[in-house]
Amino acid sequence: MTALVDRVRSRLAESGGEPTPAAVAAAVRAEAGGVASDLDVLAALRTLRQEFVGAGPLDELLRDPRTTDVLVSGPGAVWVDRGAGLVPADVRFPDEASIRRLAQRLALAAGRRLDDASPYVDGWLADAGVRLHAVLPPVAADGTCLSLRVLRPAAHDLPALRRLGTLDADGEALLQAVVAARLAVLVSGGTGSGKTTLLTALLSSVDPRERILVVEDAEELRPRHPHVVRLIARPANVEGAGGVALRELVRQALRMRPDRLVVGEVRGAEVCDLLAALNTGHDGGAGTVHANSAREVPARLEALAGVGGMSRAALHSQLAAAVQVVLHMRRRPTGRVLDGVGVLERDGAEVAVRPAWSRDGGWAAGRAALGELLAEREVRVPW
């Protein structure tokens, strides 16, 4: 059957036409002749369909609503994360060449180039809602590596997160108060910790009379709110043209009369524009940032601001005036949880995060400062 598939593949390549289902079926019939059985023909059609449609043998894994990541590092090394860590998947590729072909086809679908001259790619498969990363050998020493992250639009609200155990009733009341007070919020955490889910829930609690402008690299935020405008960044095409950067979209959003400006994930120079916007009367802004703890958020923002040409002193000055609260998410064996709440305060010339609450330790010294922020904005303190 492998020989039949190879012959059909060669015939399709020589024809140069579109590999439509009819063309594939005709090629199989022509190459099979009277030698192959009906079962061989069906198996060949199934194999070839996987080569030309979707993510091939990975499609079933990606369709599972629990799947967050699919990783391939060899024909028999396919791993899947369904929310509880990586486990081996019951999927195999015939050989290394089939993984390479799949990676190149997905890269082409994302409008990117993947070959020996450009051996790695980072792209976005909009139709599938999947972020793609692939590396070819010899850069990937053991063979083509393919990483697929499934980005499912988060649609939870705060009551739903309480039911799931992400936060308790007191945490829900606190976050409702933070939203009502229009405090600017950064949601921090590691990869897959639930940052986007929490931010979606916060935005779903915003007053329906307010207009929310959301700027993202990939379409993830879909809050349950009647007035949301979403701007999505666009990577450059194969020729390197047509890209629209996140930083430019932040500037455009400011001209669209936002009541709240939200950056789905702050990961580069756009932090400069976001902080500048939040310092020009745009209260209640929000974003997410990768950080191992709430305390590390200022240092993380320093590194990102450096990319945009902002000095350390300028970053801390802007940050002190722009952002009031940090919410830290953590992924635990029992699920994703709100792990801590902190208040940003000046510490000399710099800004530090003062813990107000932690999941393990309860209320901390920053609670008084958080209460003052809420009271200043005439919002009832929920404790």
CATH at 132: 3.30.450.370
DSSP 181-212: TT--EEEEE-TTSSHHHHHHHHHHTS-TTS-E
CB-based contacts of 77-85 (< 8 A; 24+ apart in sequence): 81/192, 83/335, 84/333
First vs last C-alpha separation in the chain:
70
Point out the domain boundary residue: 117, 134, 151.
151
In a domain, 48, yes or no: no
Report H helices in 279-366: 297-307, 312-322
CB atoms within 10 A of CB 153: 12
Q: Is the dihedral of CA 108, 20, 46, 127 positive or negative?
A: positive
Point out the domain boundary residue: 151, 170, 187.
151
Residues 196 and 122 occupy one common structural domain: no
User: Where in the sequence is the domain holding 121, given as residue range(s)?
Assistant: 59-151
Residues 70 and 162 occupy one common structural domain: no
The set of residues, in sequence order, having a beta carbon less than 8 Å from that of 88 and lying 6+ positions away, is 77, 78, 79
Residues 300 and 364 occupy one common structural domain: yes
Tens-place pLDDT, residues 177-233:
999 999 999 999 998 888 999 999 999 999 999 999 999 887 888 899 999 999 988
- Pick the residue with more confidence: 255 or 9? 255
What is the amino acid identity at position 113?
R
Which secondary-structure segment (H or E) carries 161?
helix 158-164
Query: Would you state the pLDDT for residue 134?
Result: 96
Residues 254 and 130 occupy one common structural domain: no
What is the amino acid identity at position 171?
G
Tens-place pLDDT, residues 318-374:
999 999 999 999 988 878 899 999 999 988 889 999 999 998 888 998 999 999 999
Helix (H, G, I), strand (E, B) or coil at 353: strand
Instruction: Please check the confidence at residue 245 and state whether its pLDDT lies above 90.
Output: no
In a domain, 342, yes or no: yes
Q: What is the mean pLDDT of the chain?
A: 86
Residues 108 and 224 occupy one common structural domain: no
Angle at 81 between CA 80 and CA 83, to 5 degrees: 155
In a domain, 49, yes or no: no
Residues 230 and 192 occupy one common structural domain: yes
Instruction: Please check the confidence at residue 149 and state whether its pLDDT lies above 70.
Output: yes
Residues 66 and 164 occupy one common structural domain: no
In a domain, 9, yes or no: no
Chain CA centroid to CA 376, Å: 35
In a domain, 116, yes or no: yes
The set of residues, in sequence order, having a beta carbon less than 8 Å from that of 147 and lying 6+ positions away, is 69, 70, 71, 72, 132, 133, 134
Residues 336 and 257 occupy one common structural domain: yes
Residues 265 and 348 occupy one common structural domain: yes
E-assigned strands of the chain? 69-74, 77-81, 86-88, 120-125, 130-135, 145-150, 185-189, 212-216, 228-232, 260-263, 286-290, 325-332, 335-347, 350-358, 362-363
In a domain, 51, yes or no: no
- Our count of domains for the chain comes to 2
User: How is residue 148 annotated by DSSP?
Assistant: E
In a domain, 52, yes or no: no
Query: Would you state the pLDDT for residue 303?
Result: 92
Which CATH number is 316's domain given?
A: 3.40.50.300
Instruction: Please check the confidence at residue 47 and state whether its pLDDT lies above 70.
Output: no
Q: What is the mean pLDDT of residues 24-40?
A: 61
In a domain, 253, yes or no: yes
CA distance 225 to 214: 12
On the CB side of 134, CA atoms within 13 Å amount to: 29
